[in-house]
Amino acid sequence: MRFDKKQLALYVITDRGCLRGRDLAEQVRLAILGGVTCIQLREKEIGEDELITEAVALKKVCSEYGVPLIINDNWQAALKSGADGVHVGIEDAPVAEIRRIAGEKLIIGATAKTVEQARLAEKSGADYIGVGAVFPSPTKKNAVRITPEQLREICASVSIPAVAIGGISHSNVNEIKGCGQAGIAVVSAVFAADDVKAAAYELSQLLN
């Protein structure tokens, strides 16, 4: 899939714990119909085989709407499942190694909490960076906080697009407007909602 930074505008990360038993693929479909532009499959409690099976199912849904599917951490599963990309944290496999092996087959995102990390990610071949946590995060209690000023500085330090992440919701998204990010990444703001499609739509309208 050709990568466009507009696809980062409303980037939603899965968490089956938020879904209260609802079918993940169906909730992903509803999220996309509500305006989500990118999906990341993040399921740390399952093995690789199950992750690949889940990814294949979500890839079918995402492909219907031209929305990229990114796999969290596991670039091998991303390649095996036909997903569009992988997002790696600071302590995961190096971006340069993934790029060397995967070539242009994968969109590669990398977490960056400092200007130095952002520049290294870009130099190593990342297509985008994820910057945060910009607010206290319910899914990552120990996440390092990034101020709006730091977010702005990190975004300005690289030419690749950045996604702000961490505790972003309908009530606080306006606080980071104008910081230079291409989009926002959320988990519970969409998937914990009673109406996933409506929650995604409301967020997409706030971004516009």
Domain borders along the chain are 5-207
Query: Where does the pLDDT of residue 75 fall: very low under 50, low under 70, confident under 90, or very high at 90 and above?
Result: very high
User: Does the pLDDT of residue 195 top 70, yes or no?
Assistant: yes
Residues 6+ apart with CB under 8 A from 14: 24, 28, 39, 40, 41, 42, 43, 58, 187, 191
Instruction: Say what the pLDDT of residue 151 is.
Output: 98
Asked if residue 133 has a cis previous peptide bond (ω within 30° of 0), the answer is: yes
Helix, strand and coil in the chain, % to nearest 5: 45, 15, 40
**pLDDT (tens digit, 9 = 90+) per residue, 149-188?**
999 999 999 999 999 999 999 999 999 999 999 999 999 9
Q: 5-207 has which CATH code?
A: 3.20.20.70
pTM of the model: 0.96
93-105 pLDDT, tens per residue? Answer: 999 999 999 999 9
